[in-house]
Amino acid sequence: MMQPMMTETARQAPQVMGEMMKPMVMGAGGYAAARVLTTNPALAFLRTPMVVFAAGVTTGYLLHKYRREIIQAVTKAADMGKDFVLQQKESLDDLVAEAQEGNEAEAKAQAHAEASAPAAKPRARKAAASA
């Protein structure tokens, strides 16, 4: 009884496996095609170990040869940065001082207005009481 069922399954297996494998094969083929199209031979050449090593040696040589100029440029940039920070600090201090002066002037004006307002109120009360 098992023999006919196994025979039938074995006969259908290539078709079923073919249908299951077709999307995977197509996906793998698409991946390979995309990889070939996007791979640039020049980039592959630049990733070789000898080219990377040669680039490192050349960079080291140039850094050693121009080390004084590089140090001067970095020092100059650092000094410019320090000057910029000091200028910004001074301008911020000026702005804070102006804001404090404005607040003090507003406080004096408000205090003067409050000082003159209570003096007027008792007179108005006396005038209202006498009337």
- For residue 127, pLDDT over 70 is answered with no
Domain housing 123: 81-131
Residue 5 forms part of a structural domain: no
Q: Are 47 and 39 in contact (CB under 8 A)?
A: no
| Residue 127: exposure state from Cβ atoms within 10 A (0-12, 13-18, ≥19) | exposed
71 pLDDT band, cuts 50/70/90, is: very high
Q: Classify residue 24: in a domain, yes or no.
A: no
- Round to whole Å and give the CA distance between 55 and 46: 10
Closest CA to 80 of 90, 88, 68: 88
Domain-embedded: residue 115:
yes
Token couple for 57:
């040696």
Contacts of 45 (CB under 8 A, 6+ apart): 51
Question: pLDDT digits over 18-61, tens only?
Answer: 666 666 666 776 666 666 656 677 777 777 889 889 999 999 99
Q: Specify the pLDDT at position 112.
A: 80
φ, ψ of residue 68 to 5 degrees: the values are -65, -45
Flag whether pLDDT at 122 surpasses 60.
no
Q: How many domains does the chain have?
A: 1
